[in-house]
């Protein structure tokens, strides 16, 4: 019988507590506890997030093990998100992973959250094809926006990144301006479906190279809304779907334009997207359109777009093969080098 490796993955970098069991490259379970508590505050409150992780981590891991139909003794290694993220949140997953590895005497594998978003593409999934190296990956989340050249699971080069807000942040801040609760990205996506994407035009950044900027767009949306509300107090309610469609189109145009530039400059036409914003239907459609220009595109399944432990487990598998293990002195890192 072939040797099997079973890895437990733990993710706790922001407001989702997640645990996954991976056998070789197949996900057996991927359980996530979302923290609804932050909605009322319009953003993630770090202290509350940390406390919720402490409450959730053991039940979530238990549920993942049960759902996978394995025994505790079957786990060969534990991989966890070391960073980047909220320190108080990361510490919960890190401490849990360290204790677990110590108690079970198994390897402890620290994982970089953003690299994990990219490597989620290598989870076995009959419905999609895995990217072949080298490929470009647009990683778009609540905290990051990057174009990464992925040469192997361990060799990744950042070609461009945001100099201010991340794409997810742009969605969330715009959503807040039109009175939508946090996180507003998915709601903009939902309302955009019935709106007119060219009803409003917002200013786009004029930034050279492959870097991104979203702070100007934020101001442009703010001024458009402010001026219109002065003339019509019901402006937002009456134009909600058109505002959402126009905001979404502008963000996607910015992202796609830079991807086009990266494809041109590198000659690499194999393109993937990753991170929370990659679940945006407009972005997925825009990328699919690019296949007409000869791009080979890779779009993750929805459950592997937003934060999840399956991506931590698959990254753990790559690092397990390279024996990239940590000892008990490993610490969570809010900022983590690439
Ligand atoms: O990767 P992720 O789950 O967490 C971070 O590592 O940040 O990304 C969360 C971000 C949030 O800003 C959220 O609004 C955005 O992803 N997001 C979306 C959609 N789903 C999640 N943005 C636009 N459209 C969506 N469908
Ligand atoms: Zn993330």
Domain boundaries, the chain: 6-120+305-321, 131-299
Ligand nearest to the CA of 193: 1
Q: How far is CA 248 from the centre of its chain?
A: 17
Output the pLDDT for position 37. Answer: 79
Report field, pTM of the whole predicted structure over 0.85: yes
Give the chain's end-to-end CA distance (angstroms, integer): 38
Decide whether any atom of ligand 1 lies within 6 Å of the 172 Cβ.
Answer: yes
DSSP secondary structure of 107-167: -EEEEEHHHHHHHGGGS--TTSPPP-SSEEEEEE-SS-EEEEEESSSS-EEEEEEBSS--H
* Tens digit of each residue's pLDDT, the chain (338 residues): 568 999 999 999 999 999 999 999 999 999 999 888 788 888 888 989 999 999 999 999 999 999 999 999 999 999 999 999 999 999 999 999 999 999 999 999 999 999 999 999 999 985 668 999 999 999 999 999 999 999 999 999 999 999 999 999 999 999 999 999 999 999 999 999 999 999 999 999 989 999 999 999 999 999 999 999 999 999 999 999 999 999 999 999 999 999 999 999 999 999 999 999 999 999 999 999 999 999 999 999 999 999 999 999 999 999 999 999 999 999 999 999 99
Ion ligand 2: protein residues whose beta carbon lies under 5 Å: 141, 307
Decide whether any atom of ligand 1 lies within 6 Å of the 320 Cβ.
Answer: no
What atom in ligand 1 is closest to the CA of residue 16?
3
User: Measured in angstroms, how far is the CA atom of residue 306 from the centroid of ligand 2?
Assistant: 6
**Rg (the chain; Cα; Å):** 20
CA distance 205 to 256: 13
CATH of segment(s) 6-120+305-321: 3.30.420.40
CATH class of 131-299: alpha beta
CA distance 65 to 21: 7
Q: Best mutation site among 38, 90, 184, 185 for ligand 1, i.e. most ligand atoms within 8 A of its Cβ?
A: 185
Decide whether any atom of ligand 1 lies within 6 Å of the 276 Cβ.
Answer: yes
Ligand nearest to the CA of 15: 1
Output the pLDDT for position 199. Answer: 98
Decide whether any atom of ligand 1 lies within 6 Å of the 275 Cβ.
Answer: yes
6-120+305-321 shares its CATH topology with 131-299: yes
């Amino acid at each position: 019988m072939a040797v099997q490796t079973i890895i437990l993955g733990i993710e706790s970098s922001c407001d989702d507590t997640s645990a996954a069991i991976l056998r070789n490259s197949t996900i057996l379970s991927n359980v996530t506890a979302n923290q609804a508590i932050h909605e009322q505050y319009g953003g993630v409150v770090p202290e509350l997030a940390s406390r919720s992780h402490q409450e959730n981590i053991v039940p979530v891991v238990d549920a993942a093990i049960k759902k996978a139909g394995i025994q505790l003794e079957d786990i060969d290694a534990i991989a966890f998100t070391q960073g980047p993220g909220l320190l108080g949140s990361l510490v919960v997953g890190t401490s849990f992973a360290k204790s677990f590895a110590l108690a079970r005497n198994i390897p402890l594998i620290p994982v970089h959250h953003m690299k994990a978003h990219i490597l989620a593409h290598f989870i076995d999934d009959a419905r999609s094809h895995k990217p072949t190296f080298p490929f470009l990956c647009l990683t778009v989340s609540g905290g990051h926006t990057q174009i990464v050249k992925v040469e192997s699971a361990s060799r990744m080069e950042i070609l461009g990144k945001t100099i201010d807000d991340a794409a997810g942040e742009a969605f969330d801040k715009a959503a807040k301006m039109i009175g939508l609760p946090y996180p507003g990205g998915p709601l903009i996506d939902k309302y955009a479906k019935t709106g007119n994407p060219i009803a409003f035009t917002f200013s786009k950044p004029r930034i050279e190279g492959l870097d991104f900027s979203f702070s100007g767009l934020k101001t442009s949306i703010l001024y458009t809304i402010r001026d219109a509300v002065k003339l019509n107090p019901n402006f937002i309610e009456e134009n909600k779907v058109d505002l959402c469609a126009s905001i979404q189109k502008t963000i996607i145009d910015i992202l796609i334009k830079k991807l086009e530039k990266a494809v041109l400059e590198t000659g690499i036409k194999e393109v993937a997207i990753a991170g929370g914003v990659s679940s945006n239907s407009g972005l997925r459609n825009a990328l699919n359109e690019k296949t007409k220009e000869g791009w080979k595109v890779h779009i993750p399944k929805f459950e592997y777009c937003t934060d999840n432990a399956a991506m931590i487990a698959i990254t753990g598998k790559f690092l397990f093969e390279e024996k990239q293990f940590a000892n008990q002195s490993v610490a969570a890192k809010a900022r983590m080098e690439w």
